[in-house]
Structure 1
Amino acid sequence: MKTDDLIRTLAADGKTRRPALDKLLMTAALLGLVVALATFATFLRMRPNFMAMMHDFNFVLKFAVTLGLALTSAGLYWRTLRPGAQFGVWGPALVIAPLALAVGVGHELFVLPSNAWMPGMMGHNSAVCLLSIPLLSLPILVGLLYVSRDGAPEHPMLAGAIAGLVAGGIGGAIYAAHCTDDSPLFVMAWYTIGIAAMAGIGALAGSRVLRW
Structure 2
Amino acid sequence: MNTDDLIAQLSADVPRVRRHTVGWRLGLGLAGGLIVSLTIVVAVMGVRPDLSVAMHGFSFWMKWGYTISLSIAAVVVTAQLARPDSARLRWLWLLAIPVALLAGLGALELLRTPQGEWLAMWLGESWMVCPWRVLTLAAPIFVGLLWSFRRLAPTRLRAAGAAAGLAAGAFAATVYCIHCPEVSAIFVLTWYSLGILLAASAGALLGPRLLRW
Q: TM-score range by the shorter chain?
A: 0.7 to 0.9
Aligned CA RMSD, in angstroms, stands at: 2.3
CA distance in 1, matches of 2:97, 2:75: 13
What's the offset of the Cα at 1:137? Answer: 1.1
Change (3 A) 1:161 1:14: farther
CA distance in 2, matches of 1:125, 1:47: 13
Q: Gaps spanning 5+ residues in structure 2: where? A: none
Give the TM-score normalised by the residue count of structure 2: 0.86
What's the offset of the Cα at 1:115? Answer: 1.1
Letter in 2 for 1:56: G
Counterpart in 2 of 1:50? 51
Counterpart in 1 of 2:190? 189
Normalized per residue, the structure richer in helix is 1
CA contact (8 A) 1:157 1:204 kept: yes
* Pairing of 1:129-168 with structure 2 (within 5 A): 129-168=130-169
Give the TM-score normalised by the residue count of structure 1: 0.87
What's the offset of the Cα at 1:15? Answer: 7.1
Which one has a bigger Cα radius of gyration? 2
Counterpart in 2 of 1:25? 26
Identity of aligned residues (%): 33
Letter in 1 for 2:53: A
Secondary structure in 2 aligned to 1:93?
helix
What's the offset of the Cα at 1:161? Answer: 0.6
The number of aligned residues is 203
Counterpart in 2 of 1:113? 114
CA distance in 1, matches of 2:176, 2:121: 18
CA distance in 2, matches of 1:14, 1:68: 35
CA distance in 2, matches of 1:130, 1:20: 33
Q: Gaps spanning 5+ residues in structure 1: where? A: none
CA distance in 2, matches of 1:57, 1:20: 37
